Structure 1
Amino acid sequence: MATIGNTYDPATTAAGLATNYTSARQSILTAQTKQASSAAAALTSLRSAISGYQSSLLSLTSGKTMLTQAATFSNTAIGSASAGVNATAGSYSFFVEQLATANQVSYAGLADSPANGGNLGIEFGGAPGFSINLATANSDGNATLTPREIAAAINAEPTNNGRVSASIVTVNGVTQLMLTSKTTGAAGNISLNTAAVVNAGLKAALSAPPTQVTTGQDALVWLGAQGTGTPIAQASNVFTNVDGVTMTFTKAQAPGDTPVTLTVASDNAGTVAKVQKFVDDYNKLKTVIDAMVAPGDPSKGANPGVFANDGGVRVLQTRMVSMLRGVNGADSLAAYGIVATRDGSLSLNATRLTSQLAVSPKGLDTLIGSSVNGSSSGIAGNLDSYLKEWSSSTDGQLKQRLEQNTKLQTSLTKRQDQLDKQYDSAYKRYLTQFTQLQTLQSRMASNTSMFEALFGDKS
């Protein structure tokens, strides 16, 4: 008689049948979930790219001009200069008689003293600055106030506001309290008010005339030759007397030296760099969009972009290209060396740009325009206005698409939960059925063995 054997595992069989029961719906749901997730990531990336490009446009065009000015000294050892967009081309002569310096003084003969309180005042240019409480300066709480504790109290005093730094310097065994003004100019000269210092020895040491390590003085620069030009005195070595120009002087000249010449002129290299950034930033955004709408190429293993079949994103792609190609004439992008290639990306011919600027220097600003709110104009203004239809935080397309995609993802999550429950229900049903079948099969096998023992061939 044949033997009935176990040929399956109930759990494995149940899992296989439950999977088969839900596999078609699971495949569709998995694909939809993957697409929704990819769309969310792509929309977030697109929002970031558009926002970054709009910020770049604003930065490039908020200075009223794409043209760059340069300011240089005939002797760079005397100082450096930079020109803003409002600087006017010209030549200026300066003689640097003296630089502004920060005051540094030292008080010698200081020793540990009884911590019996009082206040020490710090003054700047003869005017009251701030004071420290010598009683609280005794940080370790013993009966002795040290010079280091005084220095630490000066540095930690909230009303100091970083105006002076204090340190301890020991020279040949003699302790000195070093005070350094953080600002240049005569108004930063340091002095001490010891009227409220209680300890007589400490008061005497701090009342003695200090050593002037560095005298605080104002800068003195002549517009023109020394003695015959116009003197300009101020506390800082940074001068802004020429409109749109910042000059930083770093070295004083000797009497009789020739004044240094400041030249303000157009900076073609700087202008080319700004226009190149305009080109590069546009291409960067276009590259992001192109990848999203790419049709793909199965023969090369290239998958289509996440928005390959999305007409709205394709319109975004074509509108940006048309805005650049739609400007023609003598003052066109092409005239300034900014050429749109067949795929819509931009390239820059720096030589052509420089040549056209010499012919029509203001035409570039009129062409590119501005994306500043209230004064939007030109290509930058048109691009920014159109991109706001996508980037607006109130009713922009990106906001609407992200909200719709979020709703879709929520719906897909609920559908997945329902499908998981259907799988679990099917699995339990199949597991019960095949477990019962396995039990019945085991009983039949047992009975078969018993019959064979009773009636089988005993020879």
Structure 2
Amino acid sequence: MAINSPTYDPVSTATALAEKYVSGQQEVLKARSTRANATEKALTDLNSALNTFQNALASMAAPNKTLYAQSAVLGDTSIGTATATAKAAAGSYAFYVQSLAAAGQVSYSNLTEDSGVSGILKVNVGGTTINVDLAAANTDGGATPLTPREIAAAINADSENASLVSASVITTAPGKYELVLTAKQSGATNGVTIDASGLTGSSLTGKTANVLVQESDAVIRIGSATGPEIRQSSNVFTGIDGVTVTFNKVTTAPVTLTVGPDSSATSANVQGFIDAYNKLKSVLDAMLAPANASKGTAAGAFAGDAGVASLRDRLVSLLRQGSGDSLANYGIIANRQGTLSLDTTRLNKALALDPNGLDNLIGKATTGSPTGIAGAIDTYVKGWTSGIKGQIKTRQEANSRLQTELSSRQDLIDQQYDAAYRRYLMQFSRLQEIQSQMSSNSSLFDALFSNDKD
């Protein structure tokens, strides 16, 4: 009589039992590893969001930047351009541009490639002399003639030429060259000449300069063509505090310069501050959001994290600071969720009363001595983003240690799995052998005690 009993494949059975043996530990470890990986990404994202906000804050609240903007506009924009800082006094001014400043430019004609050139070429620019050794200017040591281009290169590269003059070469005919020298600075005292008397073997010797552009000062008159004269070496006029005017054309009649508040630019600057803050707050809100089963949304990476929640709350608190003044007075309003928006009417009204009030309240996010709201926020945020002892770095290091520990734990579970698998494989391989032997014996008994008379 045959023996019927369940049979087990040793490999698949050992695999299933070994997996079941470590499944509880593996599930716990998998959950912890998933959380650790999510934390690692969330910390990177948080650091990026905070750094982006700090960069925006530093740009808007830099030492030489202001949110309050003023404009300077020329009545005839073809005459030039003008800008104004927040410190400029509003007003209207008239100018008559009699002449523009120009940088001197000369050329020396019919130069050739010369052999055996030696001596010092003296280039005079605005009272400064540049001594150029032409023997050293020949880049191949005199194996070939000295070219005018090598002379120009030597002038430009000379250590005494501290951006005083630029030299270039124009080919006028085969083997004939024009050396052009241009002063870098404009003004009547910035003419260019050369002294080639110390040279030997050079076609520059005895040459007379061709004046291409006569050096000159700008002459600007206040009010009219007969008004008080302003004479200067530059076409950039900075005689009005906080205002810079660049003239590029003479006038035939007085041109008006109007300086006053630029409401559109100011609103754009303030909106930039608001947008930078709202973007950071949006990131923090998403990271702290609890799970919502009805909407099918998972919890944020830092849901329930008191530290990150405190970060968000502290930022809101710092925005509300001020000595008798507040952002709301300047139209920067927070809704119930803490998101900022801008009331331009209130902003312009407040700035009309105190043009510097908002910038004084916002302050500066400088490294040395931060001031105001921007300084306080930047200082606080650095406590999170610092690469030395910042909270994010501390958390990242702790999370990294946890991930290392979890990796070691995974190695241990793998070892337990391997040991269990080998044990079960041995047991069920033996069982398979016993079952095979029993089946063989059963067949033998059936043959011996069969009722078959044949």
Unaligned stretches of 5+ in structure 1? none
CA shift, 1:272, in A, is 0.9
CA–CA separation in structure 1 for the residues paired with 2:106 and 2:430: 99
CA shift, 1:231, in A, is 1.9
Written as runs of structure 1 = structure 2, the 5 A alignment for 1:51-66 is 51-61=51-61, 62-63=63-64, 66=67
Written as runs of structure 1 = structure 2, the 5 A alignment for 1:171-182 is 171=172, 173=174, 174-182=176-184
CA–CA separation in structure 1 for the residues paired with 2:102 and 2:164: 14
Q: Sort the Cα spacing of 1:309 and 1:107 in 2 relative to 1 into closer, same or farther, 3 A.
A: same
CA–CA separation in structure 1 for the residues paired with 2:128 and 2:36: 69
Written as runs of structure 1 = structure 2, the 5 A alignment for 1:328-347 is 332-347=326-341
Structure 1 match to 2:39: 39
Does the aligned pair in 1 maintain the 2:290–2:303 contact within 8 Å?
yes
**Paired residue secondary structure (2:253):** coil
Does the aligned pair in 1 maintain the 2:364–2:371 contact within 8 Å?
yes
430-439 or 414-423, which moves further after superposition? 430-439
Which of the residues 241, 260, 267 maps onto 2:239? 241
Q: Sort the Cα spacing of 1:311 and 1:109 in 2 relative to 1 into closer, same or farther, 3 A.
A: same
CA–CA separation in structure 1 for the residues paired with 2:155 and 2:442: 103
AA of the residue aligned to 2:399: N
Unaligned stretches of 5+ in structure 2? none
Does the aligned pair in 2 maintain the 1:333–1:339 contact within 8 Å?
yes
CA–CA separation in structure 1 for the residues paired with 2:5 and 2:216: 107
Structure 2 match to 1:419: 413
Written as runs of structure 1 = structure 2, the 5 A alignment for 1:315-330 is 315-324=310-319
Structure 2 match to 1:72: 73
305-314 or 190-199, which moves further after superposition? 190-199
Structure 2 match to 1:280: 275
CA–CA separation in structure 2 for the residues paired with 1:367 and 1:140: 66
Q: Sort the Cα spacing of 1:391 and 1:438 in 2 relative to 1 into closer, same or farther, 3 A.
A: same
1:194-232 CA distance string (max 9 Å, x none): 233221x5243xx31122222333333334434531323
Question: CA RMSD of the aligned region, Å?
Answer: 3.7
AA of the residue aligned to 1:244: G
Does the aligned pair in 2 maintain the 1:68–1:271 contact within 8 Å?
yes
CA–CA separation in structure 1 for the residues paired with 2:144 and 2:386: 68
Q: Does 1:251 align with 2:239?
A: no
TM-score, structure 2 length as denominator? 0.83
AA of the residue aligned to 1:190: V
Structure 2 match to 1:108: 109
Structure 1 match to 2:87: 86
Q: Sort the Cα spacing of 1:432 and 1:165 in 2 relative to 1 into closer, same or farther, 3 A.
A: farther
Written as runs of structure 1 = structure 2, the 5 A alignment for 1:298-309 is 298-309=293-304
Q: Sort the Cα spacing of 1:435 and 1:141 in 2 relative to 1 into closer, same or farther, 3 A.
A: farther
1:59-110 CA distance string (max 9 Å, x none): 4344585321211212211111111222222233322222222333222212
Structure 2 match to 1:218: 217
AA of the residue aligned to 2:266: T
AA of the residue aligned to 1:91: S
Does the aligned pair in 1 maintain the 2:92–2:256 contact within 8 Å?
yes
Does the aligned pair in 2 maintain the 1:6–1:442 contact within 8 Å?
no
CA shift, 1:259, in A, is 2.5
53-62 or 239-248, which moves further after superposition? 53-62
Q: Does 1:402 align with 2:402?
A: no
Does the aligned pair in 1 maintain the 2:118–2:133 contact within 8 Å?
no
CA–CA separation in structure 2 for the residues paired with 1:445 and 1:192: 117
Does the aligned pair in 1 maintain the 2:10–2:425 contact within 8 Å?
yes
1:176-211 CA distance string (max 9 Å, x none): 223333333345433223233221x5243xx31122
**Paired residue secondary structure (2:338):** coil
CA–CA separation in structure 2 for the residues paired with 1:332 and 1:148: 65
CA–CA separation in structure 1 for the residues paired with 2:430 and 2:198: 101
Structure 2 match to 1:191: 193
Q: Sort the Cα spacing of 1:72 and 1:446 in 2 relative to 1 into closer, same or farther, 3 A.
A: farther
CA–CA separation in structure 2 for the residues paired with 1:153 and 1:220: 35
Structure 1 match to 2:358: 364
Q: Sort the Cα spacing of 1:159 and 1:419 in 2 relative to 1 into closer, same or farther, 3 A.
A: farther
1:9-56 CA distance string (max 9 Å, x none): 654444433332222212211221221222222223323333433443
Which of the residues 347, 354, 366 maps onto 1:353? 347
Q: Sort the Cα spacing of 1:374 and 1:327 in 2 relative to 1 into closer, same or farther, 3 A.
A: closer
CA–CA separation in structure 2 for the residues paired with 1:440 and 1:161: 99
CA–CA separation in structure 1 for the residues paired with 2:235 and 2:5: 100
CA–CA separation in structure 1 for the residues paired with 2:406 and 2:69: 54
88-97 or 306-315, which moves further after superposition? 88-97
**Paired residue secondary structure (1:108):** strand
Written as runs of structure 1 = structure 2, the 5 A alignment for 1:443-458 is none
CA shift, 1:455, in A, is 10
Q: Sort the Cα spacing of 1:3 and 1:125 in 2 relative to 1 into closer, same or farther, 3 A.
A: farther
CA–CA separation in structure 2 for the residues paired with 1:134 and 1:11: 89
AA of the residue aligned to 1:46: L
48-57 or 429-438, which moves further after superposition? 429-438
CA–CA separation in structure 2 for the residues paired with 1:339 and 1:39: 33
Q: Sort the Cα spacing of 1:446 and 1:344 in 2 relative to 1 into closer, same or farther, 3 A.
A: same
1:267-309 CA distance string (max 9 Å, x none): 1112111211121111011011101101132333321101112
Q: Sort the Cα spacing of 1:366 and 1:171 in 2 relative to 1 into closer, same or farther, 3 A.
A: closer
CA–CA separation in structure 2 for the residues paired with 1:397 and 1:48: 14
Q: Sort the Cα spacing of 1:407 and 1:458 in 2 relative to 1 into closer, same or farther, 3 A.
A: farther
Does the aligned pair in 2 maintain the 1:124–1:190 contact within 8 Å?
yes
AA of the residue aligned to 2:211: Q
- Between the two proteins, the alignment pairs up a number of residues equal to 450
CA shift, 1:440, in A, is 6.5
Q: Sort the Cα spacing of 1:449 and 1:358 in 2 relative to 1 into closer, same or farther, 3 A.
A: same
317-326 or 18-27, which moves further after superposition? 317-326
Q: Sort the Cα spacing of 1:54 and 1:112 in 2 relative to 1 into closer, same or farther, 3 A.
A: closer
Structure 2 match to 1:310: 305
CA–CA separation in structure 1 for the residues paired with 2:139 and 2:310: 74
